[in-house]
């Protein structure tokens, strides 16, 4: 029997290897975009990934108002919200949400793909979504990321 033991190693300081990525969402399918962004925010692309640590990168999404849906989802899909009061349920299609709050569609899709915990909240805080092509994060020197 082989007595060689393997040791699991964890990243000591996740802050050290954190990068900034910028993604142009123009013409991207919402679900595919959100899946890849959640992957980056969690840090699953790194060899030092650990599910109990926030070792992901920062992500900037520009042109969020120009995303697309496949099929007839733009009119058939329904987002429901409920205030908790009688008669407090509201519904909206992606077309209506994009017209009023263009960043909400992408933010919501990514948020629902992250862990539902304090760790997921910390990961979500590293996401920055903007309606147009501009963003105030030039000082961080974000790297372009293509999907």
Pairing outcome for strands 143-144 and 89-92: unpaired
Q: Residue 2's pLDDT is what?
A: 65
**Per-residue H/E/C for 40-84:** HHHCCCCCCCCCCCCCCCEEEEECHHHCECCCCHHHHCCEEEECC
- Position 47 scores a pLDDT of 85
Question: Is the predicted pLDDT of residue 139 greater than 80, yes or no?
Answer: yes
The pTM assigned to this predicted structure is 0.89
Question: Per-residue pLDDT averaged across 76-100, rounded?
Answer: 97
Domains and CATH numbers, the chain: 20-144 (3.90.1180.10)
- pLDDT tens digits, 4-49: 777 877 777 766 689 999 999 999 999 999 999 999 999 999 888 8
């Amino acid at each position: 029997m082989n007595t060689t033991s393997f040791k699991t190693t964890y990243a000591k300081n996740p802050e050290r290897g954190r990068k900034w990525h910028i993604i142009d969402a123009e013409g991207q399918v919402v679900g595919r975009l959100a899946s890849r962004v959640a992957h980056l925010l969690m840090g699953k692309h790194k060899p030092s990934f650990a599910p109990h640590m926030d070792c992901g990168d920062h992500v900037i999404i520009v042109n969020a108002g120009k995303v697309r849906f496949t099929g007839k989802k733009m009119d058939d899909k329904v987002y429901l919200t409920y205030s908790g009061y009688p008669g407090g349920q509201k519904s909206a299609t992606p077309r209506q949400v994009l017209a009023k709050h263009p960043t909400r569609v992408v933010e919501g899709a990514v948020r629902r793909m992250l862990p539902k915990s304090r760790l997921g909240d910390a990961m979500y805080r590293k996401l920055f979504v903007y309606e147009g092509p501009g963003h105030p994060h030039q000082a961080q020197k974000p790297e372009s990321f293509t999907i």
